[in-house]
Structure 1
Amino acid sequence: MTRTAAWLGVVVVTAATVAGCADPADQDPCASYAALTATVDDLRELAQAEGGSASVAAEAAAAKAQLNQLEALSEDRLDAAASRLRTAVDDLQLAAGSEAQDTAAPLLSAAVDDVRDAFAALAESLDTQCTTG
C-alpha cells in the first residue's frame, strides 16, 4: 500500500467519524427529552382543541420519532416508560382520527389523559438527569 493510499484511508475514516458526530444535540438525551416534551405538550393541546385533525396525526408522528431517538440514546433505561408513552400516543392518534365525534370525544379525552400519565412516568426518569446534568 502506498503512503498516499494510507493517508486517503485515514482521511475517509476520519471524515466518516466526524460526520457521524456532526450535531451533538442529536446525541444529547436531555436535548431530545426537551424536544419530546414540547411535542407532547403540543400534541395534547391540539387533540383537546381540534379533535380529529390531520395536525394531530402529524404531531403524533413527530412525538413517536422523537421518542424513538430518545429511547436510542437512553441505552435501554427507558424501555418500559417509552413503550407506555408510544402506546398512549398511538391510542390518541386513533381516537383523534375517529369519524364518529360523539363516540370519540370521551375516548379522545381519556387518550389525552393517558398520554399525560405516560409522559409523567417517562419524565420522572429524566427530570433529575436532565436538570442536574
Structure 2
Amino acid sequence: DCPKLMYQSLALSILSCFIEEPDIMTHPSILFNLPVLLDIINNADDEVYEENLVIITDAYRCLCSIVSTEKGRKAFIGYRGVHYLVEIIVKATFQWETAQKLLLSILGSGMKPFTYCYDHHQIL
C-alpha cells in the first residue's frame, strides 16, 4: 500500500511535467482535482509536508499553469481559489510569495469582477 502523501507527490511530479500543455492542464479530470491542489498549498505549513516540500512547489507550478488559461482561471475561481490565496498570503504560509504572484496574475488577467463567484457550477 502506497501512503497518500507519496501518491500525491508522484502524481504531482508527473503532472508538473505537462505544465506547458494547456490542453492537458485544463482537461476536466485535472480541473476536477483543483480542490486537492488548493488543499496542499493551503496546508503547506503542516508537518506532514516537512520532508516533502517539492509537493508544494509542484502544486503551485500546476496551479500557475492552470490559471494561465481562461478556462483554468474560471475553474480556479469557481473552486474558491482566490479565497485560498488570500488566506495563504494573510497567514504568511510557506511559499506565500508564490501565492501572491498567482493572485496578481489572476487579478491582472482582465477578468471582470462579477466573474469571481465561488460556486464552480455557476461559472460564467
Q: TM-score range by the shorter chain?
A: 0.3 to 0.5
Q: TM-score, normalised by structure 1?
A: 0.36
By percentage of residues, which structure has more helix?
1
Q: TM-score, normalised by structure 2?
A: 0.38
Larger Rg: 1
